[in-house]
Structure 1
Amino acid sequence: MNKIIDFKCTYDNSVGINKEITQKVNLQFPEAYKHWDSMALLAEELKKYDNSNFCGLPFCHTVEGEAMGGIINLGDENIGPRAKDYICTTAEEILNLPEIDYKKGRISEVLKACKYLSDKGENVLLYISGPFTIMNVLIDPRHIFKIFRKNPKTMQAIFDKFQKELLRFVEEAQKSGVNMISYADSSGGLNILGPKFAEQTVEMFTYPLLKKIEETIDNETIVLLCPKTTFALLGTDRAVWKDINLGEPVNYSEACVKIIGQAKFVGQMCIKDNEFKLENGIIKAVTLL
């Protein structure tokens, strides 16, 4: 087996809205984070500001946790939504959390915004979070690491619960016209979990999830993996690189759109790095084994 290599993230998996955008739009915050039409407007303005080729939603990593009962501070025009108070202290409480209802709440509004933007002909990127990032909204990480260390079977049950929810989220994204899905778990990287737990997470959660996503998405959709996730897969011999030659220098985000239909996964660079250019015209797709 190879060794998992960490990716030094300069973005810290951050999403959000800068002050120039919030000052430009005539919206009230935090209400703007709660409704599909204001979300869509913000996504369009961010696309213009970043000179990007896609509209990205949501503007935080809290929608899944909130939809499972988490308590969120919606923030304001300067700081987006973030976790407020933990609601769980035990594995049993995590396992008893309700299934996500995609017809109500902020997660429903996110999907409505995606559908609106897709119908307008935009490339729509939906950011989804991995289990540790979601659990950061719900429970103190110290409890999770204790469960992981002392009761792997219970941890597997927790992973299975979150895998089911994320697969449902991907299915709803497909229905809403999303053609780009970003998967990241900033709270579950090698630098936080350590080599042993990082390897176990790939085997117990990440690889099984992505194999099922591979079967779920159509050929008009691509999954953009956080490089931390990519290197974890490569380091556990669960994936390999596959070069796709585009024939000319191209920005990474543009390349991701160009190869939709040719690959299901990419992940050599963070999608937030708008300036990253593939000078040799080659993008590395990720092939699951």
Structure 2
Amino acid sequence: MLTPKERLNNVMNGTAVDRPPCVCPGGMMNMVISELMESADIYMPEAHTDPRKMAGLARAVYDSGCFENYGVPFCMTIEAEEMGAEVELGSRVYEPHVTGYAIESVEEYRKLPQMDLNSGRAKVVLDAIRILKEETDGVPIIGNLTGPISTASSVMEPVVFYKELRKKNELAHAYMEFITCQLIAFGRAQIKAGADVIAVSDPSGTGEILGPKYFKEFAVTYLNRLLDGLQDEKMGTIVHICGQMSPVYKEVDEVRSSVLSFDSVVPMKEARAKLRDRVLMGNVSTYALEFGEPDKVKALARGCVRSGSDIISPACGLGMRSSLANVQAILQSLKEDA
């Protein structure tokens, strides 16, 4: 029987597996729910700032039969915070979020500090990965990065940022290059610490928001700049993009990741038809995971497999009040059908 790490690696490399892997990367796709925190006796927001607790919660996800990976961190605010944005760390029922921006215009990007990987929450993530690496074998460790567009629109006000992509195009590219260089450094540090895969979530970099022209010019360009910056380490990579894909399938296919992940608004059968040669991940409804029943979740997971998903995962981050039984039902359905 394949280990979870072997199963995920095989799928990413296009070789045979006994069944689809079941993962939830972390980052934007947070997999920690209230019931899990209670069973592990480890809670947020403390786990956002303590590497032992962060690693402990990531391990609890696997040990509780939810997903076949470890994934850290559990939010997508670390990069923005390290570059000067103000962040509220949330609670046991909601995740960290940006409460104050670092700059008001792309013109000010030179004022931003570079990420300090030796202190703050960036170091917490790296230490948590090291702990998981030391204490486990056979389970893939997924490190996470907030995508270039999403980071850029967290460091400054999003509406202003989107307008300045057009109005201050040259400076917007310079700002995006700065942001992407910081993400490359953080990603490579996660790989050095022991991450087996890097997942990049860019929910703000959608074709629906940007339109095909700017999606290609900014989202695709800087996702690929980031992915290429990690490739010296020959790592597997996952890119998750939110929103409808129908206007931008051609552009999405240019993203040079090992895996493409979509949310539940994207019909997996359609994605498979448009992206025949790509490894696809997704996309069990998080609404069903929070408000449905285990049998419904199992049916949705099986539907993802039939529709062409290679890696089964939630469509987005889990609601903290999702039931443990519902979350466990995804992996149970895959094992039952193996």
- Using the size of structure 2 for normalisation, the TM-score is 0.65
Cα distance, 1:206 vs. partner? 2.3
Q: What is the number of equivalent residue pairs in this alignment?
A: 248
Structure with greater helix share of residues? 2
Match of 2:130 in 1: 115
Secondary structure of the equivalent of 2:185?
helix
The question of 1:58 aligning with 2:73 is answered: yes
> For the Cα contact (< 8 Å) 2:77–2:98, is it kept in 1?
yes
CA RMSD of aligned residues (A): 3.2
Match of 2:282 in 1: 270
Secondary structure of the equivalent of 1:83?
strand
Secondary structure of the equivalent of 2:30?
coil
Q: Which amino acid aligns with 1:188?
A: G
Percent identity over the alignment?
Answer: 23
Match among 109, 124, 128 for residue 141 of structure 2: 124
Greater shift after overlay, 29-38 or 268-277?
A: 268-277
Secondary structure of the equivalent of 1:52?
coil
Cα distance, 1:216 vs. partner? 2.2
Cα distance, 1:78 vs. partner? 1.1
Summarize the alignment of residues 69-84 of structure 1 with structure 2, pairs less than 5 Å apart: 69-84=84-99
Q: Deviations over 1:115-160 (max 9, x none)?
A: 1112222311112111222133321112111211112110110111
Task: For 1:151 and 1:123, locate their aligned partners in 2 and report how far apart those are by CA, in whole Å.
Answer: 41
Q: Deviations over 1:39-92 (max 9, x none)?
A: 001111122345321101110010111111221110111112111122321223
Match of 1:164 in 2: 181
- Using the size of structure 1 for normalisation, the TM-score is 0.75
Summarize the alignment of residues 39-50 of structure 1 with structure 2, pairs less than 5 Å apart: 39-49=54-64
Summarize the alignment of residues 1-289 of structure 1 with structure 2, pairs less than 5 Å apart: 13-15=28-30, 17-27=32-42, 29-49=44-64, 51-119=66-134, 120-121=136-137, 122-202=139-219, 204-213=221-230, 215-218=231-234, 221-226=235-240, 234-235=250-251, 238=254, 267-270=279-282, 275=301, 278=305, 283=310
Task: For 1:135 and 1:239, locate their aligned partners in 2 and report how far apart those are by CA, in whole Å.
Answer: 19
Cα distance, 1:192 vs. partner? 1.6
Change in 2 beyond 3 A, CA 1:242/1:278:
farther
> For the Cα contact (< 8 Å) 1:223–1:266, is it kept in 2?
no
Q: Which amino acid aligns with 2:240?
A: C
Which runs of 5 or more structure 2 residues have no equivalent in the other structure?
1-27, 260-276, 286-296, 312-338
Task: For 1:234 and 1:94, locate their aligned partners in 2 and report how far apart those are by CA, in whole Å.
Answer: 31
Cα distance, 1:181 vs. partner? 0.9
Q: Deviations over 1:200-239 (max 9, x none)?
A: 11454223332332x3223xx310122559x657437636
Match of 1:10 in 2: none
Which runs of 5 or more structure 1 residues have no equivalent in the other structure?
1-12, 244-264, 285-289
Greater shift after overlay, 59-68 or 43-52?
A: 43-52
Task: For 1:239 and 1:138, locate their aligned partners in 2 and report how far apart those are by CA, in whole Å.
Answer: 24
Secondary structure of the equivalent of 1:103?
coil
Task: For 1:31 and 1:241, locate their aligned partners in 2 and report how far apart those are by CA, in whole Å.
Answer: 32
Change in 2 beyond 3 A, CA 1:225/1:19:
same
Task: For 1:225 and 1:207, locate their aligned partners in 2 and report how far apart those are by CA, in whole Å.
Answer: 10
Following TM superposition, where does structure 1 have runs of at least 4 consecutive aligned residues deviating by more than 6 angstroms? 240-243, 271-274
Structure with greater strand share of residues? 1
Task: For 2:95 and 2:309, locate their aligned partners in 1 and report how far apart those are by CA, in whole Å.
Answer: 35
